[in-house]
Every structure is written in C-alpha cells, then in structure tokens.
Amino acid sequence: MSESLKFFNQEYAKYWSKKRSSNGLSPYDAALFEFIKPLKGKILEVAIGSGKPFATMLAKPPFAGCDISFPLLKEGKSKISSNLVQSNAENMPFADKSFDAIYCFHSTWFFQNLGHFVLEAKRVLKPSGCLIFDIMNAKNSCIQKEYLKNIRQNTIPLFILFKYAKNILKIILRKGTPIWQIIVPWKPAQIEAIEDLVGNDSKASFFGYQKNTSFILTNYNKDASFQKIVVKIIKIKAA
C-alpha cells in the first residue's frame, strides 16, 4: 500500500469523520449544496466518503459514489442507499456515458492528477451531462502560504520534528487528530490548466469563493483573492 493510500485509509478517514461529526454544515458547504440541489437523473458523487454532508442532504441520494478510503465507505453504507465502490477518482470502474451528473467537493486538491480526474469524469458523463467540483486557487496568497507550509512540514527535518511534537500534544490533550505520515497530501490548482481540459465538447463556468466576503459565492473573474473556485462543466456533445 502506498503512503498516500495508507494516509487516506487510516489517518485522514479518522480526521474527516471527526471533523464532520463535530463541525456540522459550514456556510461554504451550504453554498456548494445549492449547486447540486437541482441535479436530476443518474448522479455520481466522487470522493463521497461517509456520505456527509452532501449525499445525506439530497432528497434522493446519488445513484453511486466512489472513494479511495474504505473506512469512510464502510461508514457511508449505514447512512445512504447509494451504490458505493472503492475507487481512485482518476480511474473509475464505470462505463462510458453512465451518469447525468457528477459532483466532487473538498477533494480535488488531494488527487495526484486533477487533469486525469476531469478527463475521466467526462468519459463517464453522458452528453449534456454536468460535472461540478471545487479547487484550491494556486494564485491565492493564503492558499500558497499554506501549501508551502505543508511542504516544509513534510520535507524539512526540523519542521517534521515540530509536526511530531504537535501530534504528541494532541494525544496528551485529547484534542485534534494526529497526522504522522510524511507526505505532501494536497496541492492547489491553476484555473488555466482546467480551461485547457474543457475542450470543444464542453463548456465551463467558474465561481469564486472569498472567505472574507461572508462565504458568498460570486462569479469568478480570475481575481487572485478567491481562495476556492467552483467549476461547472457541461458536455454539449458526445466526445
């Protein structure tokens, strides 16, 4: 098992379950939900985890969901009736043109290759189907700062020792989830790279998220102040 897969099956699964049970629905999640609430037909949630919060909020759960973490999927089977499968988002076990809509939130920055995911999602999407996902904006200074901090914590010996010390403190205080794996688990994305992937068979819309604007989603205008970007891609003809 790779270090990345081990991370998502062990430490991240514990962290995500604990975070969802304690934090509940954030204003950002509520805004994301507005994007998927109107979706109809055969729906797939990629990186569905335990089903919280989105699959459990829909009037009808997604037809299917996939996630790389087996513990989260096991938890999800007790909450939703969707067909749940363990799968990498960049190589999904679904036939071409299987779904009317696909969504994926809070997860694309963990994918090894975001471009592969977009192409794979378009493969299993029906003509006129809709793909919605969010990314961390690589051009945003706060995101870039956190990303560089994450790299230091997992590559520089002194910072690794500090990371271990924080984990020990979490255990002593029984607060937070220790993360022991030495990997760089997430990375932001360039919006231009996604624009290049859209192709002639699809059209894309982009929406920005600014934390300091009361969690309001607005039309994205390539402003670097947006921390996250929601991408909506609609296939306009068969690939």
Query: pLDDT digit string (tens) for 25-36?
Result: 788 888 899 999
Which of 206, 139, 153 shows the shortest CA–CA distance to 181? 153
Residues 196-230: pLDDT tens digits? Answer: 888 888 999 999 987 766 566 777 777 788 899 99
Pick the CATH number of 3-137+187-235 from 3.40.50.150, 2.40.10.340, 3.30.70.1520, 3.20.20.10: 3.40.50.150
Q: What residues form DSSP beta bridges with 217?
A: 209
**9, burial (CB in 10 Å: exposed 0-12, middle 13-18, buried 19+):** middle
pLDDT band at 235 (very low <50, low <70, confident <90, very high): confident
DSSP string, 135-198: EEBTT-HHHHHHHHHHHHHHHSHHHHHHHHHHHHHHHHHT-S------S-----B-HHHHHHHH
Domains of the chain by residue range: 3-137+187-235
Residue 100, pLDDT > 90, answer yes
Residue % of the chain over a pLDDT of 70: 85
Q: Whole-prediction pTM value?
A: 0.85
